[in-house]
């Protein structure tokens, strides 16, 4: 099924204008709010015509220091129908919360933990939201654009990046 | 050999006057070669294992080039270098280990295989102490060694060691039964537990040209040989039964915390045990020191040669196993023992009895 | 004193001392290890009685089988090794008196008994005799005993099985 | 740190013992720590702890230009570096809408498939090692060595190639390389039977791997398990055929899947055997590509002078030896990417470990881990 068809099915269920196509970001990406994503996710997995059974990737994104927004991008794929969909959910940096899809796609368990680890986005409903790559007592979320590198860690001095290295 | 020394000493006047001294001397003189032999056996076997594994794996193994600090031509001195390294290595005892048991464990294991060698004949006369229940004695001493393994695993206070020790204890205790039962068929045929009588019963020929060894005596002893040999491989914890020290699972099993000299005692014991298993198998089933061509190439020195050759061949087969097979799992190991080997060894006992009564 | 006597005393000393360690040790696993030496010592004593078969059987069964199971049981039992064994007893007076009486009784019996003395002869072929006794003369008791042991084995397997 | 560890231990039941496999252990294939709850030797729960090899790949990429990130992708999956380069190059080219020359396309397929063979050989060998077979490991390394020699001839490096660039490759094939590759293929094809004789059909090996660690197809898809692991579960899915990138649609090859020949579909043996069969398919592809390789052409013809894609993002995935290797690249229009995310196949494969290894024994977990063919450099990035 092509992208327009998928949008058609979604809008038929949730009302016209629910899934807005954002030409600026990418041509085949749906931009959603966290609440909308919470409603849509089970529908995408269960509906026989869509049947997105594979979650390819979950990416956390910091939209830049100016925009004050964090985002999570979900790349979905249907093994049965061989069609893809990208969902782009953005939220303010002050209150980064997204519904968890960990129980719908099991692979999201570790992907969401990684996004939480790197961006501090809370996935509501995740059963085991811990840091995954960084030590459990790490401060801050390193992939945010405004992240300040710590000077020491447990008394170990961290060398600053040398000047002039680009 | 103790008796031989005592006899010799009684002819030397200054020794004959002091029976205590001559007794101690005789025991020492009989025991020392065993110790030397165990060390030599490990040296040669380790070198052989390296070279055999290397040739099986398309490599050359240890190779020395030129002179100086290299390990000799073809790496012959490699194991000597290893031994020097092990002796000079720092002796580490983990802080949380049970010190006394940790120290005593390697010696229990080593002593068990050492004392087993006492009853081991290399030919008709070359034996440290000639028992009339030699075979039974060697089996008993083999079962003492497992206590050393369990203590090593327990005292290290390490989970890998504990797992290794538990696996090892379960494995050795289980495989002792089919190993012992499969030997019974030979004991039934020879009617003795003394190696001298067992080997003597194998002299002569069968089917005109073949040597009258027990492995060729009847189909049941042929099966019994394989049961004993495989169970023996399991008892010395070698691949495919090397679960207690399975390096990909349990790091090094019960030996994880050992290093240097203490570890080398385990090592000596392992190769000594290999020799014992191969030796018992060749004494009981392959005619011991008898020549493979009955009537030719016999004599005392030829006897030692034939015996060592048979043992070396069986040790080579064990090494062949090791570099070919993957490792079994604990439950598969136990299933093999209790569901296949144990019934099969009972069948061999009954079968040999029936064969001896009716077929012969 | 002959060389054999020296060895006899060494074996006796090892047996008694390690037996004492089994009783007095406060660490369970040490007791088990001391038991190893006790059993080996007893096996040595059997050898002095010309009972080589019994000596080796002692090692094979008690050391190789039963002691391994004891140590196995200690290792598998949860935290049993850290239990401090206490030897405090309530009835020291009476207990001591009874022990003393038994000691005096046994000692006096050893010294008074008219021991049957024969010249030491080395019996030959004990194995053959034992085999004959077990397989010919006492075959029925031997078989009954084995059936009993089999029943005990099956009972143990049944009891230890997890009921799900 | 003491406090942290105590918190991690959680609830332990009476008969359970906690065993830490790793971070230093002979068969964790790197620095991986598995916290294993065991009841005797039976596993009741596994919690993998990763991140010991985290080298901030994604943060580095935010400070480097597009082409400077290529050596970093090498270091993620250091067993299949060519495929990592390839995936990254494909993703950036998709973002920039670059067309690469015909010759480069063929060269990329050849080196990527060669690297797939090398990677699979390592996977097969180490899986054998994990179940206790030492010799097949060295046989695999013997043949892998020849591929590494060819790569060394090609670009000077044996593991971290930095060979496939955005819009091209770094060097043309040196004189004699193609002939040597043909020679290698002739040498290698009969060797596959050697592995089969030695390990694949060994009775003990089948006992250890058949029916162990079964991943049913639906569980595999839900956990995002891809590549040979997914095909071992009986799902005929290969990006080279189903979503072709580069010029993979021009080649004739099969997609081997697990059939449960020795046990049930999706067990360790199936995953192992899929890799063995894929070796043959790789040889087929390389032969076709070598036959069709254009003789002349400049491999640097399409290299962009300045890599500055327009604002936007792309998610592109390629078939690495371990499965779907995805790159999510977001550009803000400058010459430095605003976000690069690598979706590594080993990461998702490892996440299903707890699900598939509960109830098995410690030895089986090592076997299952070996059959998943993880590379910690890629998981931790």
Task: Judge if C3 and C58 occupy the same domain.
Answer: yes
DSSP letter at B169? Answer: H
Which residues, 6+ apart, have CB-to-CB distance to A140 below 8 Å?
A120, A147, A148, A150
Which of D133, D138, D204 is nearest residue B59 as measured by Cβ atoms? D138
* Domain final residue pick, C42, C66, C86: C86
C163 confidence band (pLDDT: 50, 70, 90): low
Which residues of chain D make contact with B332, given a CB cutoff of 8 A?
207-208
Backbone φ and ψ for D90, nearest 5 degrees, come out as: -60, -40
Task: Judge if C74 and C145 occupy the same domain.
Answer: no
Following DSSP, what letter does each residue of D87-130 receive, concatenated? HHHHHHHHHHT----HHHHHHHHHHHHHHHHHHHHHHHHHHHHH
Tokens of residue A152, six digits: 């020491």
CA B315, CA B304: separation in Å to the nearest integer?
16
Task: Judge if C53 and C131 occupy the same domain.
Answer: no
Task: Judge if C12 and C78 occupy the same domain.
Answer: yes
Which chains have at least 3 CB atom pairs separated by less than 8 Å from chain D? A, B
CA D279, CA C99: separation in Å to the nearest integer?
80
DSSP 3-state of D169: strand
Q: Would you say residue C54 has pLDDT above 60?
A: yes
Maximum C-alpha span of chain B: 68
Which pLDDT score, from 0 to 100, does residue A125 have?
85
Please state the ipTM of this predicted complex: 0.79
Which pLDDT score, from 0 to 100, does residue C104 have?
94
Which chains have at least 3 CB atom pairs separated by less than 8 Å from chain C? B
A76 forms bridges with which residues in the sheet?
Answer: A55, A85
Q: How far is CA D356 from CA A129, B293, D348, in A?
A: 21, 58, 13
Nearest to D301 by CA among D152, D139, D100, D162: D100
Cβ separation C53–B136 shorter than 8 A:
yes
Is residue C48, in this structure, part of any structural domain at all? yes
Output the domain CATH number for residue C82.
1.20.120.1200
Cβ separation B19–C2 shorter than 8 A:
yes
- If one counts the domains in chain C, the total is 2
Mean pLDDT, chain B, integer:
82
Angle at C12 between CA C2 and CA C56, to 5 degrees: 95
Which pLDDT score, from 0 to 100, does residue D298 have?
80
Which pLDDT score, from 0 to 100, does residue A67 have?
78
Task: Judge if C76 and C133 occupy the same domain.
Answer: no
Share of chain D above pLDDT 90, in %: 8
Is residue C128, in this structure, part of any structural domain at all? yes
Cβ atoms of D56 and D148 within 8 Å: the answer is no
Which of A56, A105, A135 is nearest residue D326 as measured by Cβ atoms? A56
Which residues of chain C make contact with B23, given a CB cutoff of 8 A?
2-4
Cβ separation B59–D135 shorter than 8 A:
no
Which residues of chain C make contact with B169, given a CB cutoff of 8 A?
68, 71-72
Q: What is the mean pLDDT of residues C63-77?
A: 79
Backbone φ and ψ for C129, nearest 5 degrees, come out as: -65, -45
Is residue C102, in this structure, part of any structural domain at all? no
* Domain final residue pick, C41, C70, C86: C86
Is residue C105, in this structure, part of any structural domain at all? no
Which pLDDT score, from 0 to 100, does residue B117 have?
81
Q: What is the pLDDT along chain B (360 residues), one digit of tens a residue?
A: 666 666 676 676 666 666 666 767 777 777 777 778 777 888 888 888 888 888 888 888 787 765 556 666 777 778 888 888 888 888 888 888 888 888 888 888 888 888 888 788 877 776 766 677 788 888 888 888 888 888 888 888 888 888 888 888 888 888 888 988 888 888 888 888 888 888 888 887 777 777 788 888 788 888 899 999 999 888 888 878 887 777 777 888 888 888 888 888 888 888 888 888 898 898 888 888 887 777 777 777 888 888 888 899 999 998 888 888 888 888 888 888 888 999 999 999 998 888 888 876
Parent domain of C135: 122-164
Which pLDDT score, from 0 to 100, does residue B128 have?
66
Backbone φ and ψ for C147, nearest 5 degrees, come out as: -65, -40
A21 confidence band (pLDDT: 50, 70, 90): low
pLDDT in tens, C80-114: 555 555 556 677 888 889 999 999 999 999 888 88
A23 confidence band (pLDDT: 50, 70, 90): low
Task: Judge if C82 and C133 occupy the same domain.
Answer: no
Which pLDDT score, from 0 to 100, does residue A19 have?
67
* Domain final residue pick, C36, C71, C86: C86
Exposed e or buried b for every residue in C52-69, given b needs 16+ CB within 10 A?
bbebbbbbbebbbbebbe
pLDDT in tens, A27-54: 678 888 888 888 888 888 888 878 888 8
**Is the CB of residue D19 less than 8 Å away from at least one CB of chain B?**
yes
Is residue C50, in this structure, part of any structural domain at all? yes
D46 forms bridges with which residues in the sheet?
Answer: D36
pTM equals 0.83
Q: Tell me the residues of chain A between 69 and 88 that have a Cβ less than 8 Å away from chain D.
A: 73, 75, 79, 82, 86
Backbone φ and ψ for D319, nearest 5 degrees, come out as: -90, 100
CA A165, CA A151: separation in Å to the nearest integer?
19
Is residue C98, in this structure, part of any structural domain at all? no
Cβ atoms of D275 and D123 within 8 Å: the answer is yes
Which pLDDT score, from 0 to 100, does residue D1 have?
32
Which pLDDT score, from 0 to 100, does residue B71 have?
66
Which pLDDT score, from 0 to 100, does residue C3 have?
64
Which pLDDT score, from 0 to 100, does residue C85 have?
57
For chain D, residues with pLDDT lower than 50 are 1-9, 12
Task: Judge if C81 and C129 occupy the same domain.
Answer: no
Q: How many residues does chain C have?
A: 164
Task: Judge if C62 and C143 occupy the same domain.
Answer: no
Which residues of chain A make contact with D62, given a CB cutoff of 8 A?
143
Q: What is the mean pLDDT of residues A68-83?
A: 85
Is residue C29, in this structure, part of any structural domain at all? yes
Which of A75, A79, A166 is nearest residue D237 as measured by Cβ atoms? A79
C150 confidence band (pLDDT: 50, 70, 90): very high
Which of D7, D326, D338 is nearest residue A57 as measured by Cβ atoms? D326
Task: Judge if C1 and C65 occupy the same domain.
Answer: yes
Task: Judge if C81 and C130 occupy the same domain.
Answer: no
Task: Judge if C136 and C58 occupy the same domain.
Answer: no
* Residue D23: cis peptide before it, omega within 30 degrees of 0: yes
Tokens of residue C13, six digits: 């000393």
Tokens of residue D149, six digits: 């020699």
Which pLDDT score, from 0 to 100, does residue B219 have?
84
CA A23, CA D312: separation in Å to the nearest integer?
9
Is residue C117, in this structure, part of any structural domain at all? no
Cβ separation A118–D58 shorter than 8 A:
yes
D21 forms bridges with which residues in the sheet?
Answer: D34
Q: Would you say residue A165 has pLDDT above 60?
A: no
């Amino acid at each position: 099924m092509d992208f327009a068809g998928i949008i058609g099915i979604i809008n038929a269920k949730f009302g016209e204008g629910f899934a807005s196509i954002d030409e600026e970001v990418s041509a085949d990406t749906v931009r959603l709010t966290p609440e909308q994503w919470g409603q849509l996710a089970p529908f995408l997995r269960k509906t026989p015509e869509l049947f997105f059974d594979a979650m390819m990737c979950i990416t956390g994104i910091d939209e830049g220091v100016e925009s004050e927004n964090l985002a999570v991008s979900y790349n979905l794929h249907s093994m049965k129908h061989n069609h893809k969909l990208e969902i782009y959910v953005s939220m303010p940096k002050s209150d980064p919360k997204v519904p968890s899809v960990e129980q719908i796609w099991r692979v999201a368990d570790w992907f969401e933990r990684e996004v939480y680890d790197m961006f501090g986005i809370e996935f509501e409903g995740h059963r085991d939201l811990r840091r995954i790559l960084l030590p459990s007592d790490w401060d801050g979320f390193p992939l945010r654009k405004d992240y300040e590198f710590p000077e020491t860690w447990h008394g170990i001095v961290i060398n600053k990046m040398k000047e002039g290295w680009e | 050999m103790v008796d031989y020394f005592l006899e010799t000493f009684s002819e030397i006047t200054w020794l004959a006057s002091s029976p205590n001294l001559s007794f101690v001397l005789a025991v020492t003189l009989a025991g020392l070669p065993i110790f030397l032999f165990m060390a030599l056996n490990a040296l040669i076997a380790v070198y052989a294992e390296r070279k055999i594994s290397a040739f099986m794996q398309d490599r050359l193994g240890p190779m020395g080039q030129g002179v100086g600090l290299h390990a000799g031509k073809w790496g012959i001195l490699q194991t000597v270098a290893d031994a020097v390294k092990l002796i000079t290595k720092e002796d580490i005892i983990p802080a949380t280990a049970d010190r006394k048991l940790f120290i005593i464990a390697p010696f229990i294991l080593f002593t068990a295989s050492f004392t087993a060698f006492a009853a081991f004949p290399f030919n008709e006369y070359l034996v440290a102490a000639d028992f009339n229940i030699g075979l039974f004695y060697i089996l008993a001493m083999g079962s003492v060694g497992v206590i050393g393994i369990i203590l090593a695993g327990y005292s290290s206070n390490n989970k890998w060691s504990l797992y290794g020790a538990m696996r090892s204890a379960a494995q050795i205790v289980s495989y002792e039964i089919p190993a012992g039962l499969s030997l019974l068929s030979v004991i039934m045929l020879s009617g003795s537990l003394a190696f001298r009588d067992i080997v003597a019963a194998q002299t002569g020929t069968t089917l005109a040209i073949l040597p009258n060894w027990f492995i060729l005596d009847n189909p049941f002893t042929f099966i019994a040989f394989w049961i004993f040999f495989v169970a023996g491989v399991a008892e010395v914890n070698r691949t495919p039964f090397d679960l207690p020290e399975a390096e990909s699972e349990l790091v090094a099993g019960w030996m994880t915390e050992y290093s240097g000299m203490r570890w080398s005692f385990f090592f000596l014991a392992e190769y000594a045990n290999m020799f014992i298993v191969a030796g018992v198998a060749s004494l009981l089933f392959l005619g011991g020191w008898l020549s493979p061509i009955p009537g030719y190439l016999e004599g005392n020195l030829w006897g030692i040669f034939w015996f060592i050759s048979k043992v070396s061949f069986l040790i080579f087969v064990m090494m062949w196993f090791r570099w070919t097979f993957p490792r079994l799992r604990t439950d598969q190991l136990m299933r093999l023992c209790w569901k296949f080997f144990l019934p099969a060894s009972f069948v061999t006992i009954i079968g040999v009895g029936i064969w001896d009564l009716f077929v012969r | 004193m002959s060389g054999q006597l020296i060895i006899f005393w060494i074996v006796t000393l090892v047996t008694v001392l390690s037996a004492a360690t089994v009783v007095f040790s406060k660490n369970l696993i040490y007791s088990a290890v001391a038991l190893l030496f006790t059993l080996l010592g007893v096996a040595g004593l059997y050898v002095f009685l010309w009972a080589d078969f019994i000596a080796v059987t002692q090692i094979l069964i008690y050391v190789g089988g039963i002691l391994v199971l004891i140590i196995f049981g200690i290792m598998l039992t949860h935290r049993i090794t850290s239990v401090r064994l206490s030897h405090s007893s309530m009835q020291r007076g009476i207990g001591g008196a009874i022990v003393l009486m038994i000691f005096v009784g046994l000692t006096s019996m050893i010294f008074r008994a008219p021991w049957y003395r024969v010249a030491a002869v080395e019996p030959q072929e004990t194995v053959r005799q034992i085999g004959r006794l077990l397989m010919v003369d006492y075959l029925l008791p031997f078989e009954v005993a084995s059936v009993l042991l089999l029943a005990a084995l099956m009972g143990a397997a049944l009891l230890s099985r997890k009921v799900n | 740190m003491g406090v942290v560890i105590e918190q991690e231990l959680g609830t332990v039941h009476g008969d359970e013992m906690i065993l830490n496999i790793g971070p230093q252990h002979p068969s964790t294939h790197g620095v991986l720590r598995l916290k294993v709850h065991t009841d005797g030797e039976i596993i009741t729960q596994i919690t993998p702890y990763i991140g010991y090899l985290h080298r901030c790949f994604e943060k580095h990429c935010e400070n480097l230009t597009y082409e400077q990130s290529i050596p970093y992708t090498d270091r993620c999956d250091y067993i299949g570096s060519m495929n990592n380069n390839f995936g990254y190059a494909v993703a950036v080219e998709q973002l920039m809408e670059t067309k690469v020359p015909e010759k480069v396309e063929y060269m990329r397929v050849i080196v990527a498939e060669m690297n797939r063979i090398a990677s699979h050989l390592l996977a097969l060998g180490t899986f054998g090692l994990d179940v206790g077979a030492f010799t097949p490991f060295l046989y695999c390394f013997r043949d892998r060595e020849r591929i590494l020699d060819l790569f060394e001839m090609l670009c000077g490096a044996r593991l971290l190639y930095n060979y496939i660039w955005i819009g091209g490759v770094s060097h043309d094939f040196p004189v004699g390389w193609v002939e040597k590759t043909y020679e290698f293929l002739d040498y290698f094809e009969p060797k596959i039977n050697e592995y089969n004789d030695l390990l694949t059909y060994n009775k003990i090996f089948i006992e250890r791997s058949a029916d162990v660690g079964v991943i049913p197809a639906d569980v595999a898809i839900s956990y995002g398990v891809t590549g040979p692991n997914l095909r071992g579960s009986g799902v005929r899915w290969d990006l080279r055929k189903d979503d072709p990138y580069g010029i993979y649609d021009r080649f004739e090859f099969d997609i081997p899947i697990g059939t449960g020949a020795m046990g049930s579909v999706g067990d360790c043996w199936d995953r192992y055997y899929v890799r063995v069969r894929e070796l043959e398919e790789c040889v087929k592809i390389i032969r076709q590509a070598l036959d069709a390789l254009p003789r002349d052409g400049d491999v640097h013809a399409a290299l962009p002078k300045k890599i500055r894609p327009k604002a936007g993002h792309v998610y592109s995935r390629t078939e690495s030896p371990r499965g779907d290797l995805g790159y999510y690249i977001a550009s803000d229009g400058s010459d430095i990417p605003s976000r690069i995310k690598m979706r590594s196949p080993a990461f998702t494969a490892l996440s299903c470990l707890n699900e598939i290894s509960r109830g098995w024994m410690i030895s089986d977990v090592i076997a299952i881990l070996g059959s998943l063919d993880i590379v910690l450099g890629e998981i931790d990035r």
